[in-house]
Amino acid sequence: MPVSVPRLVVSAPASGGGKTTVTCGLLRAFQRRGLRLQACKCGPDYIDPLFHERVIGVPSRNLDLFVSSAEDVCRLLAGVPDGAVGATQPAGDPAGRASGPVDLTIVEGVMGYYDGVAVSDQASSWDLARTTQSPTILVVDCRGRARSLAAEVLGFLRLREPSCIRGIILNRVSQMMYPQLKALIEEETGVSVLGFLPRLDDCSLKSRHLGLVGADEVEDLQARLDRLADAMEQTVDLDGLLDLARMAPALDPAPRQLDPVASPGCPVRIALARDLAFCFYYADGLGTLESLGAELVPFSPLTDGQLPADIDGLYLGGGYPELHASQLEANVSLHQQIAGLVAAGLPTVAECGGFMYLQESIEDMEGRPHQMVGLLPGRAYKTDHLRRFGYVTMEASKDGLLAEAGQTLRAHGLHYWDSEAPGEDFHAQKPQSRRSWDCCVTTPTLYAGYPHLNFYSEPVAARRFVEACLHHRDARLAASAGTRADSAAGSARPVAASPDTEGGAR
């Protein structure tokens, strides 16, 4: 059944052009109007969606045409939840995202509008807009230019057909110059300019080695968002943007059928590391685990001395452990417990920062080493540039937790820290490139490595993880039942009399 999804893609000619600022400002401005909103991010980025979530209160979705099919992307954009095989109605959306009809979906683009895999436009913001038939707003930085702005816009309109660009927002321009630039661009290109943002230094978002500083670390974020929305209400045609979004054609994706591994009434419990050090997760990937029968139980490796009770799996995501290495090092009791349980067969996924955490040590920002869990050999050390950055297709060299030998997984890497022992149980191949390398450590109960996976796009790997957790739970419960039975039998068994007692009794 077709689903009406009013939507806009917010893109720019290049990274650093103001996409996140404009996206968050629009979300806050429309939120003030009482609209029901959904935010999305084109591509694999973790950080920008955390800002979206801080604005609207529900997790942002990643729409990635490298790891996902066009149908999956349209399904996510339409908010169609997974359904159980044989069910007459789709299941609910367990990850807490906006489900059901929304008034407006805003999709933040990635890099420059046509920048995709390698030097192609595959998986670019344009590719996503074209695939989903979504109108695009191009955010153009006006610093140091005037009539050349029209040439830039005209080039973006003509490079691909259709360009999907339906409007322009000018960034970093004064109120005095805006009317002239608006008239110029509209006359030269024929596309509408729907507003501008002046230079707002107090609303800017700071960056560091993996992108923007995390949303939870910006103390005055809500105040900045309000100032940004205040400006947009005065300088951006919000009604025009909403009218444009409502012109997007309906989407008609079929529900994806997933047969749960564990029953909803008796899920497997997976401990999920979630704090400032470990915060990189895909909302829909977590939702897939939940749809398969997992209960995700959050804990903090920074502050919790023990894992949650009665767990059947462990998920250590990426993040910034290097920024919190001293505090992580001090939590020795948790190190010892994790090392013991994982070595004993607790099904565990450890990606990027989680992989570093399982190793012997991590260097902090100043290059000082800090002891970590020590389950895996090697030291995670600081480098001065991104290592093995971008999309990869990984082929398993042997059977393991997430894949059998010969099976492939699509993944993404983004890290400045490297490891003395990055693993060799998968072979990673960059798309449209001859570059490849070995990576990751895997066993029947462990996946650990730098590449990030989106379990929504790899449901077979997600199923294998949850199935391993189910086997672990069954074994744990059987052992517990056996212990209780032995204890009960011991307490009920008659106590044999000693020879001296027997002699005295005679």
Tokens 């968050």, located at residue: 24
Two structure tokens written together for 314: 């462990």
Handedness of CA 450, 459, 49, 113 (dihedral sign): positive
Asked whether the bond before 162 is cis by omega within 30 degrees of 0, the reply is yes
State the greatest distance between any 2 C-alpha atoms of the chain, in Å, as a whole number: 119
Coil/strand/helix, residue 505? helix
Q: Please indicate whether residue 164 is annotated as part of the active site.
A: no
Two structure tokens written together for 499: 């020879």
- DSSP string spanning 425-493? SEEEE-TTSS-EEEEBEEETTEEEES-B--TTT-HHHHHHHHHHHHHHHHHHHHHHHHHHHHHHHHHHS
CA distances to 73, 119, 249, 251 from 133, in Å: 12, 23, 7, 9
Options 40, 352, 440, 469, the catalytic residue: 352
Q: How many residues does the chain have?
A: 506
Q: Tell me if 9 sits within 8 A of 133, measured CB to CB.
A: no
Element (H, E) at 349: strand 348-351
> What does the angle CA 438 – CA 443 – CA 448 come to, to the nearest 5 degrees?
55
Two structure tokens written together for 235: 């300088």
CA distances to 137, 196, 200, 235, 237 from 174, in Å: 20, 8, 11, 11, 16
Distance CA 24, CA 39 (A): 9
Which residues are bridge partners to 278 per DSSP? 319
Q: Tell me if 288 sits within 8 A of 259, measured CB to CB.
A: no
- Catalytic residue positions? 352
